[in-house]
């Protein structure tokens, strides 16, 4: 194709030409989506309806569940519908929307996990002033900053990605993934997207250093607690956040440090599924299993003893 203005649609990855395998893909992705949506909706409902969970920690957890819900909703429904209808098409506008919303929710996840690390730091290292520092106004300002920064981050990446000239419309992935779109550029390097990548690396590195520094301070403070029960309680509030953060960073590094192949690859598909669908599905499980207050709220919500 001559330039990007001649592209009205893209062709996504076809899992298999066999109709039975297409239906199997539809069912598998439908189960993944149902599990992620159900888990995150339960977390949102538990926090919203249980007044015992109206604290900064669970307020941030509810927003994390909203972001995870948005992440999977941006990419999975289109793929499942395509498999069901035996098609590969996605419009140019639909592809732009996928990149924008997926980057928005995934980027917001990183910023929110960084804020949650600060929340745990204040709660454990400065407990006497926790309510004063993490008051309602401060929490609203932090969460507003998370969503606004995530939106700006998404706009930067989306505008950088689609400002280029595409020489093909065949995407070797089940959604409009930025590394796969970059491979379709007519020129090898495009300045706007390269600038976005450099900014992203600096942001991610900054968040990572901040979180590591924060948890070093938290670990030192917890080790000073004389009672074993106190140490367990402190670690129990930090462990779910550490598991979620580690999963997010690990899968994201795999996604962005790997070099996508020029032909459809099952390894590319597996890595993409790992970072795009596993964390949103895993987060509610981690928080509900490791947190006693969340489990109690969920039992009440579901009418269980």
pLDDT in tens, the chain (305 residues): 444 446 888 999 887 788 888 899 899 999 999 999 999 999 999 899 888 888 998 999 999 999 999 999 999 999 999 988 888 999 999 999 999 999 999 999 989 989 988 998 998 888 889 999 999 999 999 999 999 999 999 998 898 888 888 888 999 889 998 888 888 888 765 666 667 777 777 887 888 888 888 888 888 888 887 777 777 776 776 777 777 777 777 766 766 666 655 666 677 777 788 888 888 888 888 777 667 788 888 888 877 76
Q: What's the confidence (pLDDT) of residue 260?
A: 57
Is there a contact between 26 and 83 (Cβ–Cβ < 8 Å)? yes
Residue 198, φ and ψ in degrees, nearest 5: -60, -45
Q: What's the confidence (pLDDT) of residue 4?
A: 45
Q: What distance in Å separates the CA atoms of residue 135 and residue 120, rounded to the nearest whole number?
A: 14
H or E element in which residue 226 lies: none
Is there a contact between 133 and 113 (Cβ–Cβ < 8 Å)? no
Angle between helices 266-276 and 228-257 (to 10 degrees): 140
Helices and strands counted in the chain (H then E): 11, 2
| Counted domains in the chain | 1
Q: Which residues of 252-263 are buried (b: 16+ CB within 10 A; e: fewer)?
A: beebeeeebeee
Is there a contact between 118 and 102 (Cβ–Cβ < 8 Å)? no
Domain that holds residue 14: 4-302
Q: What distance in Å separates the CA atoms of residue 272 and residue 183, rounded to the nearest whole number?
A: 16
End-to-end CA separation in angstroms for the chain: 62
Q: What distance in Å separates the CA atoms of residue 197 and residue 117, rounded to the nearest whole number?
A: 24
Token pair 């249980």 in the structure block, residue: 50
H or E element in which residue 199 lies: helix 191-223
Instruction: Read off the CATH number of the domain in which 204 is found.
Output: 1.20.1070.10
Task: Give the distance from CA 169 to its chain's centroid.
Answer: 26
Q: What's the confidence (pLDDT) of residue 279?
A: 84
Q: What distance in Å separates the CA atoms of residue 66 and residue 171, rounded to the nearest whole number?
A: 28
Q: What distance in Å separates the CA atoms of residue 127 and residue 257, rounded to the nearest whole number?
A: 39
Residue 261, φ and ψ in degrees, nearest 5: -75, 160
Q: Which residues of 132-149 are buried (b: 16+ CB within 10 A; e: fewer)?
A: eebeeeebeebbeebbeb
């Amino acid at each position: 194709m001559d330039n990007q203005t001649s592209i009205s649609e893209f062709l996504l990855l076809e899992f298999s030409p066999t109709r039975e395998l297409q239906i199997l893909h539809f069912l598998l992705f439908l189960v993944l989506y149902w599990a992620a949506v159900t888990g995150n909706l339960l977390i949102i409902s538990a926090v919203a309806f249980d007044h015992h969970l109206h604290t900064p920690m669970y307020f941030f957890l509810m927003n994390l569940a909203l972001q995870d819900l948005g992440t999977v909703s941006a990419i999975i429904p289109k793929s499942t519908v395509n498999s069901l209808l035996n098609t590969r098409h996605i419009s140019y506008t639909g592809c732009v929307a996928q990149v924008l919303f997926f980057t928005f929710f995934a980027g917001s996840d990183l910023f929110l996990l960084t804020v949650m690390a600060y929340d745990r730091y204040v709660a454990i290292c400065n407990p006497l002033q926790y309510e004063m520092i993490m008051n309602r106004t401060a929490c609203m300002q932090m969460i507003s900053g998370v969503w606004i920064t995530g939106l700006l981050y998404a706009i930067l990446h989306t505008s950088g990605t689609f400002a280029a000239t595409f020489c093909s419309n065949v995407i070797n992935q089940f959604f409009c993934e930025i590394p796969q779109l970059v491979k379709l550029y007519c020129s090898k390097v495009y300045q706007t997207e390269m600038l976005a990548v450099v900014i992203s690396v600096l942001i991610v590195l900054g968040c990572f250093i901040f979180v590591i520094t924060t948890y070093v301070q938290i670990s030192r403070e917890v080790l000073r607690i004389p009672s074993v029960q106190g140490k367990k309680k402190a670690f129990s509030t930090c462990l779910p956040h550490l598991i979620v953060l580690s999963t997010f960073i690990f899968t994201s590094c795999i996604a962005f440090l790997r070099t996508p192949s020029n032909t459809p690859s099952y390894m590319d598909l597996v890595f993409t599924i790992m970072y795009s669908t596993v964390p949103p599905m895993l987060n509610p499980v981690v928080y509900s299993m490791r947190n006693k207050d969340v489990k109690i709220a969920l039992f009440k919500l579901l009418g269980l003893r």
